Amino acid sequence: MAKYYRRVRVHKKDGYLDGLPGTLPRKQTTKEIVRASVSEDHIQAAVERYLGLKHVFYIHIPNTLWCWISTKAPPWIKKIAGAALAGLPDIIAFDGKGLGLRCLPLELKTEAGTMNPRQREIKTQIGTLTARSVDEAVEIIDTWLKIGQISTQDSQDLLSDPGPTD
């Protein structure tokens, strides 16, 4: 009998991995298996699909752009892009319902992932939230959307209230 953890098959009787290219068979714990099978790109894709389902506009700078900048871009582009884009969150979601524009800066990391110093600096400046799984990201997004609905309703009540009548 085999169990499936995030598209990785683990044989129940011996606990060896099956289906991860380039790995040697060795006994691993369930936590290690889930960590090995869920990359930041998988979390990113799932969160983007969820934002699409919720009809939320978002911005994401793809990793392929970062790879091109760091390896093949001319030095002057590296300098400009490095200064302007380094440390930005993986996803910046926007909600324009209500009185103003709200944004949700969301950094996605795996269980073992860490932030670099520039990301930590940006996090303290703009209040980036960090999610280490799809479930955690969905919870953050849902909470953010609920807060927006509450504040939108309150603002609509304030706008429609004629005030005290004398």
21 lies in the same domain as 89: no
Is residue 25 scored above 60 in pLDDT? no
3-state SS assignment for residue 59? strand
Residue 166 lies in a domain: no
Cβ–Cβ < 8 Å for 38, 4 = no
Per-residue DSSP letter, 94: E
Tens digit of pLDDT for each residue in 66-80? 778 878 888 888 888
Query: For position 12, what pLDDT does the model report?
Result: 46
25 lies in the same domain as 52: no
143 lies in the same domain as 70: yes
Which pTM does this prediction carry?
0.63
Model confidence band, residue 62 (pLDDT cutoffs 50, 70, 90): confident
62 lies in the same domain as 125: yes
More confident residue, 90 or 85: 90
**Cβ neighbours, 10 Å, residue 14:** 8
Between 14-18, 52-56, 150-154, the lowest mean confidence (pLDDT) is in 14-18
23 lies in the same domain as 61: no
Show the CA angle centred on residue 78, arms to residues 72 and 79, nearest 5°. Answer: 160
The total of structural domains in the chain comes to 2
8 lies in the same domain as 18: yes
User: Tokens at residue 105, please?
Assistant: 């800066």
91 lies in the same domain as 132: yes
DSSP 103-152: EEEEEE--TT----HHHHHHHHHHT-EEESSHHHHHHHHHHHHHHHHHHH
CATH code of 132's domain: 3.40.1350.10
Domain of 17 in residue numbering reads as: 1-37
150 lies in the same domain as 121: yes
Closest Cα to residue 141, out of 90, 65, 85, 88?
90
Model confidence band, residue 156 (pLDDT cutoffs 50, 70, 90): very low
48 lies in the same domain as 119: yes
